[in-house]
Structure 1
Amino acid sequence: MAKYIILDTETTGTAESDRVIQLGYIVLGAKEVEVHNEFNSSDVPISYGAMEVHGITQELIEGKPTCVETSAYKRLLELNTEDNYMIIHNAPFDLKMLEKEGFDTQMKVIDTLRVAKHILPDEDAHRLQYFRYKMELYKEEKKEADALGIVVKAHDAIGDVLVLKLLLSKLKLAVSEAYPSENPVEKMVDLTNTPILVKTFRFGKHKGKELAEVAREDAGYLRWMLSSMDNLDDDMRYSINTVLGM
């Protein structure tokens, strides 16, 4: 029977050299729900910017085992099969961090951030905490947290996992409504791997304009973006190529 691993990490920062310092996840699909939540030490010091976000200080992880030595990590390795599903909000970030710890996921991945962007494209934001309030998930989370023995705290790995569990249920329903003839779980996997067509500029001199409009009026600017912007994300690159007919 397939298992569903809803996961989040907290890290020393977001740079290439940063590492995992908290691993939290819930395992669904078995007879009993598993809850794993462990802090771990790292040779990389926690940046002050990261501390501001998650509140984890050096003192909290001092003397802790490394990530790969934790029982949470070892159990994650046992779960890492093609039959299981990994659910993460903004999966590339957490998966990249786990890769630094030697973890190479074999599971099917559902990125709820990408699914939300596909299914709810007109939202002002797609951050987890945004949906926590917009969808009123906070009204449901205490009962769920009490049942699982989880303390809800914004930007804490296991607290975010609980919110993500509630968001996943909402997204599954939305996907079922949008694609009634398809399995919603498999469709979320498919959407995770499907490029997002960005319709409107949210930055730069054309902010607020439709990409198709800019393609007609200032195609040279779009070509410049493709050739010169190293930090252009994959979805924007895909969208520009689409509107330019490339």
Structure 2
Amino acid sequence: MQLKLKNPIIFFDLETTGINIVNDRIVEISVLKVSPNGMEETKTVRVNPGMPIPKQASDIHGITDEDIKDAPSFKEVGKELARFIEGCDLAGFNSNRFDIPLLAEEFLRNGIDIDFSKRKFVDVQTIFHKKEQRTLSAAYRFYCDKNLEDAHSAEADVTATYEVLKAQLDRYSDLKNDIEFLSAYSSFNRNADFAGRIIFDEDGDEVFNFGKHKGRKVKDIFAKEPSYYAWMMNGDFTLYTKKVLTAVKLREFQK
């Protein structure tokens, strides 16, 4: 089944130095842009992360320090990437919990202004886990009847993810071929930030989703306990979480 698209959609996958959204970096990114007219365009680029790639990461994706020693930095490729994905919705496998948060961190860290607030995010892994509870390789075998060669190669993974989503639409009659529906279906919470530290409540207000203030409105805590904002801004939280907190603080200040 072909996707019904209002906007272009980017299927993407990252290979990284590790799984820490705050501290780890991208070493390879592959993107597959699918346009509403069905045209497909793929780009894959390796990135010098500016830090050693741990052996345990190289053992998974096969990319070593030697492989990326002459590769461009994210700062060098980020602006072109931002232009390429401008106006597109985003999709991936485990992308809502890892790839999108880490990509957003890289953009912010390198001073590249990109607005994700109006994008739709489709996480094919979430759809899969709600339906079958498997891995990408198993999903590819289950839905597409193919073996995933070169697993953990960004381009192989991103192509498989695209094929799996189309096969999921063919298999499940209750899945609507609509990116807004798929975005909502593949989300667990209404996240205000990508890390899930801040979510929206039923009133549309930002609410803490962790710690001693879990379930309480951010604006109320900042009004009663101003030092909590400073603690979070100095803490080991993602840049995007801090961006959301600052927007709340400024909004309330201007009232």
- Assess same fold via TM > 0.5: yes
1:10-159 mapped onto 2 (5 Å cutoff): 10-15=15-20, 16-29=22-35, 32-70=39-77, 73-81=78-86, 83-91=87-95, 92-102=97-107, 104=114, 105-106=116-117, 107-118=119-130, 120=131, 123=132, 125-138=133-146, 153-159=150-156
CA deviations 1:109-162 (Å, max 9, x no partner) are 1011112223x1xx3x432112122334426x8xxxxxxxxxx52101111011
TM-score with structure 1 setting the length: 0.64
Alpha-carbon contact 2:33-2:41 (below 8 Å) kept: yes
Query: Greater helix percent: which structure?
Result: 1
- Could you tell me how far apart the structure 2 residues matched to 1:62 and 1:84 are? 31
Alpha-carbon contact 1:3-1:28 (below 8 Å) kept: yes
Alpha-carbon contact 1:26-1:35 (below 8 Å) kept: yes
Counterpart check, 1:4 vs 2:1: no
CA deviations 1:196-229 (Å, max 9, x no partner) are xxxxxxxxxxxxxxxxxxxxxxxxxxxxxx999x
The number of residue pairs the alignment matches comes to 179
- Could you tell me how far apart the structure 2 residues matched to 1:126 and 1:108 are? 24
- Which stretch of the first structure deviates more once superposed, 129-138 or 108-117? 129-138
**Which amino acid letter does the alignment assign opposite residue 153 of structure 1?**
D
**Relative contact order (alpha carbons < 8 A, sep ≥ 6): 1 or 2 greater?**
2
Listed as ranges, the gaps of 5+ residues in structure 2 are 1-5, 109-113, 190-209, 213-255
RMSD (Å) for aligned C-alpha atoms = 2.8
- Could you tell me how far apart the structure 2 residues matched to 1:171 and 1:69 are? 36
Compared CA separation, residues 135 and 193, structure 1 to 2 (3 A): closer
**Which amino acid letter does the alignment assign opposite residue 111 of structure 1?**
D
> Aligned with 1:23: secondary structure?
strand
Identity rate, percent: 22
**Which amino acid letter does the alignment assign opposite residue 85 of structure 1?**
D
TM-score with structure 2 setting the length: 0.62
Alpha-carbon contact 1:5-1:86 (below 8 Å) kept: yes
Report how far residue 100 of structure 1 moved.
Answer: 2.3
Compared CA separation, residues 130 and 97, structure 1 to 2 (3 A): same
> Aligned with 1:101: secondary structure?
helix
